[in-house]
C-alpha cells in the first residue's frame, strides 16, 4: 500500500477514535481496520505522528513468562533490563516493549484498545 494512502486511512481512523471514549490504542487495533498494511508499517507512521505531536506514546513492558504488564516507560529502553515479576514470581530479562499510543489531552490509561 502506498505510504500516502496508508497515512490517510490511519488519519481517518484517528479522527474517528478521537471523538470516542478511547484514549489509547495499540498498533494492532489500527491494523484490524487497515488491512493490506503490515503492523510494522502502521507503527512507523504512528511513531512519525508522535514526532509531529499528534499522538503520544508509552512503552509497555510485558513479562515474557506470564505476559503480565510489568510497567510502562515513556522512553523505549535500548537494552535488556532485569526485573522481578510480581505476577509469576520470577526474575526475568525484559526485551519486549510494546508501544501504546495516546491522544494528547485525553486521560491516559482509560479505555485502551
User: Using CB under 5 A as the criterion, which residues of the chain lie in contact with Zn ion when the complex forms?
Assistant: 63, 65-66, 85, 87-88
Could you tell me which of 33, 50, 36 has the C-alpha nearest to residue 3?
Answer: 36
The x, y and z cell numbers of residue 17, run together, are 477514535
Handedness of CA 56, 13, 111, 20 (dihedral sign): positive
Least CB distance to Zn ion at residue 28 (A): 21
- Helix and strand totals (H; E) in the chain: 3, 6
Least CB distance to Zn ion at residue 7 (A): 37
**Nearer Cβ to Zn ion, position 39 or 60?**
60
**Nearer Cβ to Zn ion, position 29 or 62?**
62
**Nearer Cβ to Zn ion, position 16 or 93?**
93
Q: Which residues pair with 60 in a beta bridge?
A: 72, 98
Least CB distance to Zn ion at residue 74 (A): 22
Amino acid at each position: 500500500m502506498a505510504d500516502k494512502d496508508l497515512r490517510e486511512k490511519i488519519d481517518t481512523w484517528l479522527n474517528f477514535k478521537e471523538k470516542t471514549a478511547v484514549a489509547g490504542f495499540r498498533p494492532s487495533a489500527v491494523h484490524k481496520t487497515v488491512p493490506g498494511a503490515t503492523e510494522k508499517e502502521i507503527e512507523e507512521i504512528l511513531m512519525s505522528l508522535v514526532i509531529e505531536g499528534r499522538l503520544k506514546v508509552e512503552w509497555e513492558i510485558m513479562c515474557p513468562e506470564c505476559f503480565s504488564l510489568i510497567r510502562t516507560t515513556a522512553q523505549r529502553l535500548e537494552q535488556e533490563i532485569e526485573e522481578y515479576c510480581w505476577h509469576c514470581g520470577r526474575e526475568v530479562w525484559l526485551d519486549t516493549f510494546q508501544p501504546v499510543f495516546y491522544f494528547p489531552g485525553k486521560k491516559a490509561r482509560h479505555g485502551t484498545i
